[in-house]
Chain A
């Protein structure tokens, strides 16, 4: 199941683990990404907590935790090479994986069609 947030994040659910990243639209808005700071593995995040930081050439942007959960894995590859986020934001450019407190909370997020409408 693929869902989206108004802050231009995507989530892909597999059991109770959601992979989180930023959308292609977000990377277009940001421009070239030069730095990523990821959360600590084990961090417990509430919905809306600052989870990661993305710096583009011109400015810094916060990535918020879209749902409540515990960080179980982070993608070190994008720390070493932030350009991967621009190249493949919804694949290899994933940010972190969250064990969701409540998998059903995904239902409250936008689906692909709704996100497309938002970003038109």
Chain B
């Protein structure tokens, strides 16, 4: 059953064939869950391997008109609070576009391909990101949305499963990026992901995507996973969802993302500042922010979801924060959430109160991530 006016990814027919329950997401008809259901899909990705269709996301090539890749990196540094010049070819880095208030315009992954960069951006922001890049860097760089599929293969068995198609993937470390041939197609393979598990994100020419996805899920270790489990997996890993946990009004310091800002872009770094909102962000790095993103563990079993107001005491009158993401965490058999709290309360072990169905429920501040990452480093 096609929904009118929704875009489809190159894997749409496969989702329908697998009996996926579909939903509209960022203008695309996307699978929420398949026959296993959200809970089992989540647990399968942590125990074995899950395959996700993330083709709705944007893949944007940034190429300097000079032809020199370093000029593209230099140009991009004007828009992100992160070291791009120091990103070596064949490597990936997490970054964020900032705005003049120090807020986050989008978060993204940047890959260095030598003579150009490839930016993987959020689906809901890809048009805005393309416009931003053209407006700011259009004189110096060519900006091109790549029309390719994108899949993620995540979990402890992901490497073994991908190695059947591309044995060279076993020598890749976390945040490596390589061009590998899978079933005759030239693919961009990145050892990265959004689950906290080891795994890969793979950019595939659209025409080959179905074949490669089917080959991967033919492996009994690999199950197709929908957006429902994608959300609970990333929340357990403490990862932000743009539009929920981070947005134009949250600074990277408040969001707990300053780890991604290398020294060279900070005060007294060789390329200090020179990105939108730099003074505000660098000021917060020096003096602290007024609020911080924290992990939250509600008492009991009831999930506490995004937009739930938070209070400092059970009978307090003034709302002091809010939940920005929340769900049931299958790995814990308990609810988990994230939100922003004033600095003094943003300390693990503190108890605050979320309002749920007219009642105040105690919620413990917890360190992030909820689950330790399993990246293949070094």
Q: How many A-B residue pairs have CB under 8 A?
A: 38
| Contact between B37 and A35, CB atoms less than 8 A apart | no
* Contacts known (A31-B33, A32-B38, A34-B328); A55 close to B303, Cβ less than 8 A: yes
| Contact between B38 and A31, CB atoms less than 8 A apart | yes
List of B residues within 8 angstroms of A37 by Cβ: 302
Counting contact residues on chain A (CB < 8 A from B), the size range is: 10 to 19
Q: How many residues of B contact A (CB 8 A)?
A: 17
List of A residues within 8 angstroms of B38 by Cβ: 31-32, 57-58
Bound-state Cα–Cα, A70 to B137, Å = 69
Q: Does B232 contact A (CB under 8 A)?
A: yes
CB distance from A34 to the nearest CB of B (A): 4
List of A residues within 8 angstroms of B305 by Cβ: 60
* Contacts known (A53-B357, A57-B327, A57-B328); A35 close to B39, Cβ less than 8 A: no
> Chain A, 38-70, contact with B by CB distance < 8 Å: what is the 0/1 string?
000000000000000101011010000000000
* Contacts known (A31-B228, A34-B328, A35-B328); A55 close to B302, Cβ less than 8 A: yes
Q: Does B301 contact A (CB under 8 A)?
A: yes
Bound-state Cα–Cα, A34 to B43, Å = 14
CB distance from B331 to the nearest CB of A (A): 13
CB distance from B250 to the nearest CB of A (A): 24
* Contacts known (A57-B39, A57-B228); A35 close to B302, Cβ less than 8 A: yes
List of A residues within 8 angstroms of B302 by Cβ: 35, 37, 55
List of B residues within 8 angstroms of A60 by Cβ: 303, 305
| Contact between B357 and A35, CB atoms less than 8 A apart | no
- B residues contacting A by CB (< 8 A) are 21, 32-33, 37-40, 228, 232, 301-303, 305, 327-328, 335, 357
Given contacts A57-B38, A57-B39, A82-B301, list 5 more A-B pairs with CB under 8 A.
A31-B21, A35-B328, A57-B328, A60-B305, A79-B301
- A residues contacting B by CB (< 8 A) are 31-32, 34-35, 37, 53, 55, 57-58, 60, 79, 82
